[in-house]
Structure 1
């Protein structure tokens, strides 16, 4: 099982706001290239995200299924990317000082990816998920009101 941890300068709720917005999935998940649909019930358990994996024109349409949703502490998803297979992705978040610690764990659960020796898959998953957490942090930290500037500022500058 691949494990990555990252400290983020935001509250756990900010991380879960990003996770709850299914349309942001390809922005923070490495390998996801576009969203096709988000279940109205997302991120409730058994709801789905319809996404594509790969680089155009070689994209594969597949889905991710929410298995557990317990904000602001835990989210579990089953990411599908056939013909490679399926993986269970667990994201745990806990407060840490003025921010939070986010841990992502991923392991293959079905298909050819589950047959490959861990000594081969874990380094690749580690590198991919390090970047995934970096992207998630950019979005979650960027949503903090104190960091908004310009057109996104809460108050307009006086004339």
Structure 2
């Protein structure tokens, strides 16, 4: 599993509120370009965000499915990326204090082409990408007004 970690100066509830807003998915996931639809009940287990990936005009339409969820603590996603495969992404929120949370993001190839690439090679690209993803979550959770559920 390729893992990155970021300490964010806000409580886990604010961070989880970002993750629980399926319409914000393209704002924090590097590579997601457009949200086409969000299943009612997101982020309940089995619900999906329907999205486009990549730069226009080469975008792929695909989806991300919630596989495990514990409010304010854990969100595990199965992210589909067309021919590139499927990844399992695990976001764990660990309170450090009342105002600070450590977020750990783990990524592993689950199916498709990505499983054929050695983890050491994937790690070179994905560590930077996933660190940027957590940086975006940080920005949204600490600086933007969150939408009501």
Is the shorter-chain TM-score for this pair beyond 0.5, marking a shared fold?
Answer: yes
Structure 2, unpaired ranges of 5+: none
Structure 1, unpaired ranges of 5+: 146-159
Q: Which residue of 2 aligns with 1:141?
A: 142
Contact 1:43/1:69 (<8 A) preserved: yes
- Cα RMSD of the aligned pairs, angstroms, is 1.2
Structure 1 runs of 4+ with >3 Å offset: none
Q: Which has the larger radius of gyration?
A: 1
Corresponding residue pairs, total: 145
Structure 1 residue 122, shift from structure 2 partner: 1.2
Q: Which residue of 2 aligns with 1:33?
A: 33
Contact 1:30/1:131 (<8 A) preserved: yes
Structure 1 residue 144, shift from structure 2 partner: 7.0
Deviation digits for residues 4-32 of structure 1 (CA, Å, limit 9, x no counterpart) = 00000100000110011000000000000
In the aligned structure 2, how far is the partner of 1:143 from the partner of 1:7?
A: 17
Deviation digits for residues 99-155 of structure 1 (CA, Å, limit 9, x no counterpart) = 11000000100001011111111121111000000000000112479xxxxxxxxxx
Contact 1:14/1:143 (<8 A) preserved: no
TM-score for the superposition, normalised by structure 2: 0.94
